[in-house]
Amino acid sequence: MDLVAAMACTLMSEHWNATDVDTLASGQDAGGRRLPSNAWMALRRLGWTATCEAKVNDRIVRMAQEQTGRALRSANPADRLLRAQARASARQRVRDGTHPACSAHAAAGRL
């Protein structure tokens, strides 16, 4: 299983960015076709393959892709939730006058 974890880690590091996470979350490939529900199949459709220095059975590659795909799919809702929470927090700090921008404006005499 260490081999699968290493392959998944490498694949995850290649695609752990907002663009790729959003691409996977969109549910469509570049041609507009619906992505398969199996994470490993979706990653293959997108051309995101797990690699290894040694020759391994395709089942091992699919296991790494499935693990990575599930993690990337779960990242999108978590990212949206954290961004919404940060926006709400910033709005509250503006209302309270504790936001850094409010402090700068107050110091400059603009509030």
**22 inside domain:** yes
62 in a structural domain: yes
Q: Give per-residue pLDDT as tens, 44-88.
A: 999 999 888 889 999 999 999 999 999 999 888 777 777 788 888
Distance CA(93)–CA(1), nearest Å, equals 47
Token pair of 94 as six digits: 């503006």
Inside any domain, residue 69: yes
Domain that holds residue 60: 2-81
Residue 9 in domain: yes
Query: Structurally, how many domains does the chain consist of?
Result: 1
Return the sign of the alpha-carbon dihedral for residues 16, 21, 70, 81.
Answer: positive
* pLDDT above 90 (res 110): no
Q: How far apart are CA 31 and CA 29, in angstroms?
A: 5
In a domain, 104, yes or no: no
What is d(CA 102, CA 104) in angstroms, rounded to the nearest whole number? 5
pTM: predicted TM-score of the whole model, two decimal places: 0.69
8: in domain: yes
Residue 92 and residue 107: Cα distance in Å, rounded?
20
Q: Which residue has the tokens 């961004």?
A: 83
In a domain, residue 94? The reply is: no
